[in-house]
Amino acid sequence: MSDMNTKDFVIGTLIGGIVGACSALLMAPKSGRELRGELSEGAYSAKEKTNEMTSSAYEKGSQWAGYAREKSSEIAKNVSEQSSQLYGKVKETASSGNEGSQEKTADELAEEISEDLEAEQEGVNNVKEDVRDLHASTEEKDQT
């Protein structure tokens, strides 16, 4: 049973459902004109729902893409700024002439680097929270 191909199962289920629905409609005690009218209404309704779902999927996809693009550019900018700052601090520390002050500066630099990393982690956590909020809001829109 674990070897059953899920795709084949889903296709078989859909075909079986369609065949069953068609046979039920054809066996119903209605005139041909009524049956054709109901079939065309059902087909039109299915087409409209499909169009709505497609446009909704495109909208959500573009929202997610825009949001991801915005957040990735913010993160890239932050990383670039912080790496430039760290490079400047390391260069400044390396160029200072007194070894005693170098050790102190190196300790200070290590502390600043750890603080910068903590701040960046907070930024990453904020991005994750924003993504969760956006996902929740789009799920709420789907339910309504």
Q: Is the residue at 17 inside a domain?
A: yes
Q: Is the residue at 32 inside a domain?
A: yes
Confidence check: pLDDT of 34 > 50? yes
Q: Is the residue at 135 inside a domain?
A: yes
Q: Is the residue at 137 inside a domain?
A: yes
Q: How confident is the model at residue 104 (pLDDT cuts 50, 70, 90)?
A: low
Distance CA 85, CA 75 (A): 15
Task: Choose between 2 and 127: higher pLDDT.
Answer: 127
Domain extent for 82:
6-143
Confidence check: pLDDT of 2 > 60? no
Confidence check: pLDDT of 142 > 80? no
Distance CA 95, CA 102 (A): 9
Please write the tens of the pLDDT for every residue from 76-94: 888 888 788 777 777 776 6
Q: Name the domain count of the chain.
A: 1
Q: Is the residue at 45 inside a domain?
A: yes
pLDDT for residue 64: 86
pLDDT for residue 15: 92
Confidence check: pLDDT of 102 > 70? no
Q: Is the residue at 1 inside a domain?
A: no
> What 3-state class would DSSP assign to 48?
helix
23: left (phi over 0), alpha (psi -120 to 50) or beta: alpha
Please write the tens of the pLDDT for every residue from 40-85: 888 888 889 998 888 888 888 888 888 888 888 888 888 888 788 7
Q: Is the residue at 103 inside a domain?
A: yes
Which H or E run contains 97?
Answer: none
Q: Is the residue at 21 inside a domain?
A: yes
